[in-house]
Structure 1
């Protein structure tokens, strides 16, 4: 308060009657202002997150160890019966690449452009959808795009697996990992109740009359492309060995198989004629194959 009108007179304030300046910035209270409801991020909160992550990782490792991955036979480039299939989470992309507009001349569109659009959309979504509303039914555009994506991925996955099962049924093929597991169980079962080692497979029969002229005809025939030059076939791919085939079929039956086919094998008579063999050559070949007996 002032006691006179002099300009140099000392002014004494009683209390603090000055109006405080307003500020739009409100200082955030420290986490310690909320005891029991908040905590420091490092190390308390981060340590808890790490502990949860370790527990989840241990659970995944236990599942991996308890159920080994299904394995097929070693890769065989000559096995034309094998149907390659990706893991289940890539089935939708595998099916997408089967369509004409994403394969062949448009393979770049299916393998680069489509994934770029999908993943690029996820990256720019937070910048396009800046609304504060968190309930999905209040965000129709974002929710609709999410639902359409899930429906498309689910549909493509189901279609891909359905086609795979249908192809297996049409070609009468047992998947390699299932066949190998059955062979493993059969090997364990043949060890007897005492749990001994599995019996060793019987030795393959030898080639009968390997110096017969028909053996040279065999090397020129279409048979060699599947059954091999040593007549061992590819049992893992469903192609039987021709060693010992004479114990199952006689000359006429083998000739009938060559002309009409059997199982997954198509008729081979016309193809052999096109390769330059004569009817007499094919007859000699059938006679020689009928001689292939174990004893």
Structure 2
């Protein structure tokens, strides 16, 4: 028997014919006039739209820069920090009872996780081929709920902020003043007055006025520190008579009066 005689070769149906695979065009008759090549047509359009938006956003930021606030001061208990505008809706969410205090994990992890998870699952929950919003009710509904909730929570957070008071914390309105921290009365001031009147006597909005141009003598300041004046209650000072005198001298010597000794006219703060 000769080698190879009696052997036959048959075709395997599992092997695709590469020549015929690309000859059959895909059927896009269901979407007339809505098809185009991803590269470069569709991708180029996406890049152009993104570039226009980015350039416009950069121009807007350059024309209207965001003002910075002053350096954080742990002694200022009246200051309420706020996140950037794009996180205000999450900040407002934490004000609700079910998302704060003992439910803080729900507000910070649970609800945002469910919301973003639902948006990620929307394409898989609604697999209809139509592109119109009316043909994709699940995906469209989830997106609308997310957008409306974000807009509403952001609005509620913005209207609740006293922006006129916060403007006083702007760097543009920061008081450029230095005090003598080596003065013996500085430590007394830090322990008794700094929380309401600021680190450099500039005052704190909603707590205490500035002490930079007081028309009082050292004796009057010492008296006010013990007995109070205006909205300042009595008994705010806690120290010895020597410390009280050091405090009064420190405030007088670090005011912005021309002679550095303060005035002698007694007026309310």
- 1:251–1:287: 8 Å Cα contact kept in structure 2? yes
- 1:276-291 aligned at under 5 Å gives the runs 277=239, 284=245, 288=249
Segments of structure 1 that go 5 or more residues without pairing to the other structure are 1-25, 185-200
1:233 maps to 201
CA distance in structure 1 between the aligned counterparts of 2:80 and 2:111, rounded to whole angstroms: 25
1:115-139 per-position Cα deviation (integer Å, ceiling 9, x unaligned):
1100110111122223455554566
- 1:81–1:173: 8 Å Cα contact kept in structure 2? no
Change (3 A) 1:227 1:70: closer
> Of 77, 80, 84, which aligns to 1:83?
80
- 1:48-87 aligned at under 5 Å gives the runs 48-87=45-84
> Of 96, 101, 104, which aligns to 1:107?
104
Secondary structure of the structure 1 residue equivalent to 2:52: helix
- 1:75-224 aligned at under 5 Å gives the runs 75-132=72-129, 134-136=131-133, 143-165=140-162, 172-177=165-170, 180-181=171-172, 215=185, 218=188, 222-223=192-193
Larger radius of gyration: 1
CA distance in structure 2 between the aligned counterparts of 1:183 and 1:271, rounded to whole angstroms: 26
1:118-166 per-position Cα deviation (integer Å, ceiling 9, x unaligned):
011011112222345555456655555444433332332222112212x
1:231-257 per-position Cα deviation (integer Å, ceiling 9, x unaligned):
832468786665663x34674476346
CA distance in structure 2 between the aligned counterparts of 1:110 and 1:144, rounded to whole angstroms: 22
1:168-221 per-position Cα deviation (integer Å, ceiling 9, x unaligned):
66xx553423xx34679xxxxxxxxxxxxxxxx7x86879xx67xxx4994696
- 1:92–1:153: 8 Å Cα contact kept in structure 2? yes
CA distance in structure 2 between the aligned counterparts of 1:47 and 1:217, rounded to whole angstroms: 65
CA distance in structure 2 between the aligned counterparts of 1:142 and 1:205, rounded to whole angstroms: 61
Segments of structure 2 that go 5 or more residues without pairing to the other structure are 1-22, 254-258, 262-269
- Normalising by structure 1, report the TM-score: 0.56
Change (3 A) 1:239 1:135: same
CA distance in structure 2 between the aligned counterparts of 1:39 and 1:152, rounded to whole angstroms: 35
1:270 maps to 235
- Normalising by structure 2, report the TM-score: 0.61
- Higher mean displacement: 65-74 or 134-143: 134-143
- 2:222–2:245: 8 Å Cα contact kept in structure 1? no
Change (3 A) 1:107 1:80: same
1:82-122 per-position Cα deviation (integer Å, ceiling 9, x unaligned):
32111222111101112232222222111111111001101
1:255 aligns with 2:220: no
Aligned residues: 228
